[in-house]
Amino acid sequence: MLGLAVGLIAVTFLVFLLGVIVRFSIISPHRIRGARKRIRRPDAAGVAGVVGFSPSADLISLYRQAPFIDRTEFYLIDVRTDPPRRWFIGGFSR
C-alpha cells in the first residue's frame, strides 16, 4: 500500500512538472510573441480608454526612446537628492 501511495505521488509530481514545462516553454512564448515590439509602440488611445486620461507626449516618447524599457529588475536612481533616491523597477507591462 505504501509503495502504491509513493508511486501515485511520484506520477502526480511528474505530470505536474510536465505541465509546467509545457506552460513555460511552449505556451508562454506563443502568448507573448511580439511583446518587445508592442512596448515600444504604445497605443495612446488604448491607454486613455483604460485609465481615463490621455498619456502625455513625454511618456509616449519615454517608451519609444528610453534604453531601460526592455530591461527587467533594475533600479532608477535620482542623484539630485542627498542621499540618492532609488526605485526598484521589476519590469514594464507589455
Taking only the tens place, the pLDDT of each residue in 29-39 is 777 776 666 67
Instruction: With beta carbons less than 8 A apart as the criterion, state whether 21 and 83 touch.
Output: no
User: Average pLDDT of the chain?
Assistant: 85
Between CA 51 and CA 39 the distance in angstroms is: 17
| pTM reported for the whole predicted model | 0.45
The residue extents of the domains of the chain are 2-66
Asked whether 63 and 55 are in contact (CB, 8 A), the reply is no
3-state SS, one letter per residue, for 61-91: HHHHHCHHHHCCCEEEEECCCCCCEEEEECC
pLDDT over 80 (residue 91): no
Q: How confident is the model at residue 50 (pLDDT cuts 50, 70, 90)?
A: confident
Contacts of 75 (CB under 8 A, 6+ apart): 86, 87, 88, 89
